[in-house]
Amino acid sequence: MKSINVAIDILHNATSSPPGLLKLGTHLVFDVKMDFICKARLVGDGHHTPAPSVSTYTGVVSRETVQIAFTYAALNGLEVFAADIQNAYLQALCSQKCYTICGPEFGAKNTGKYAIVKRSIYGTKSAGVDFCNHLCDCMHHLGFESCLADPDLWMHPAIRKDGTAYYEYLLLYVDDVLAISEHSTEMLRQLGKYFQLK
């Protein structure tokens, strides 16, 4: 729940709902990971909000692209590293203009207060596309271009240690990243400037 503080702005002095914003109910989802770490995630009740007029899905790299990328890495002696973007959706600004009424999960002093949802939280209708757009902006800043055949395959021209030209690749499956390069760890370090990776 610590990371949710970046996603909402509690209106301490508001006496009514913010004008022009959709009301978004929220609830907590609890999980125990395989390593026994307990997690709680605040989730928006997006199923109670109107459907947007545009697609809200985030893309995923195709299975065939992953197979081709593994073959490319094996044939060219390239490193393959994987990473996960932590709290992925919270990294992106929320395009849906929503507010919520704080429940007890926000602490006793905030219960009943209005809060504006600033960042994409799981469960909102636009969370997937908001994160996807944010991730695409970051990829462009890093100098990567999306492949026309599979938009979730990102490529960047590079030079090998022996002086030959080749392409480095990042494959994206929502918040999972696969790096294929002679310097995969450096690629992930560059991406780590934008996102916390594990």
For the chain, the C-alpha Rg in angstroms (whole number) is 20
Tokens standing for 60? 């995923």
- Report the pLDDT value the prediction gives residue 76, as an integer from 0 to 100: 95
Going from the first residue of the chain to its last (198 residues), give the mean pLDDT of each consecutive group of 10, the final group possibly shorter. 78 89 91 89 86 78 97 97 92 91 89 93 89 94 96 96 96 96 95 92
Q: What is the pLDDT of residue 33?
A: 87
Enter the pTM of the model.
0.85
